Amino acid sequence: MKKLLSAVALVAMLAQSPVVYAGDKEPVKISGPANAKGVTTVAVGAFNVGFIFESVDQTKASGGLMGAFGGTTKAKSELVGVTPEMMQKIADAAYADFVSQLGASGYTVVPAGDLFGHAALAKTKSLETPLDINIALEKGSKGKATYFKPSELASQFMLPGDFTGSGMSSIGINMSAGQASMALTNYAKQSGVGVIDVVYLIDFSDQKRPGFFSFGGLQVNSGLSVAADYSRMTLIAPSGKQTVVTVKAPVGVEGDFIEKNDASSGTDKALQSTANVAGGLAAVAGLGGLRFGKTRKFAFTAKPGAYEEGAAKAASLASEMMVARLGAMR
């Protein structure tokens, strides 16, 4: 009951946070739009909110002055201070808000218990929850994320394409995703109810992946956003065909959610300074091949209360965009 009340309170705060939409880029990409036509009754079969806790971003310098002062520039960012209880609260609030928006848009939403109690899902196993994944970000970047499902859903499922794994650890998750997709498709066909799958990846860094450079090195800023390309909604129609809406521009919120600090040690900075001087002298001497690179470590500390509100608001804005696009295709 406490979890439910907490999520309800968080949903009530969503309309109060300042927001910002990123860039001029088309906010979504839609595939299979015709498959959503005529679908008015839906069930939410999967809803995952992922949180990036660690990211390593790097880019090779292209020569010239930047090349003289470093080869590969790397930023390692870590998020601390976010508890499982905070992430569960965000997932519950984001789910409740999404279902509310579906209803407000004219969809009939089938209770989760009806879907998970259906024979089509009887042999489908849940993923381990919460789910930890090593994820591949943009070229030259990788990260670690934890995905939470809302308390109301009995099992945690992902569909193929919901995430891009890094390394061998994701093979089992991919196999499970294929099985879940088949089971949810069978449910849609047998029940005549469309099934919705949602995945949002919450990023804590405003870094423009795989990184952008200033003369002083890699610039990383704090912020909260639903990450582009790694957040999407899938509708499995009763026909078995899919409509996929993918976020293509980050959906962010402004606020005092996170405190950023340069976590590079004194030794790291001293070594970097020496390497930079050596690289500069080598360039002057015509030895352009000596590139030492720059490395920075950043610690992002979440502010309890503010972080949950900001993350839930970002998810709400993404849901508003998703549901609007889905309703237009109906």
Tens-digit pLDDT profile for residues 145-184: 999 999 999 999 999 999 988 777 688 899 999 999 999 9
Collapsing DSSP states into helix, strand and coil, what is residue 162? coil
Q: Return d(Cα 307, Cα 165) in angstroms, integer.
A: 26
Cβ pair 144, 52 in contact under 8 A? yes
Give the CA angle between residues 202, 39, 155 to the nearest 5°: 45
pLDDT of residue 222: 59
Q: Identify the bridge partners of residue 21 per DSSP, sorted by sequence position.
A: 251
Q: Return d(Cα 143, Cα 164) in angstroms, integer.
A: 11
pLDDT of residue 223: 73
pLDDT of residue 282: 44
What is the domain extent for residue 121? 2-329
pLDDT of residue 54: 85
Q: Return d(Cα 6, Cα 94) in angstroms, integer.
A: 12
pLDDT of residue 123: 95
Question: For tokens 């470590």, what's the residue?
Answer: 297
pLDDT of residue 66: 31
pLDDT of residue 18: 41
pLDDT of residue 204: 84
Specify the number of domains making up the chain: 1
Q: Which segments of the chain have a pLDDT < 50?
A: 2, 4-5, 7-8, 11-23, 60-72, 208-220, 268-292
Q: Return d(Cα 271, Cα 293) in angstroms, integer.
A: 11
Structure tokens at 260: 């950023």
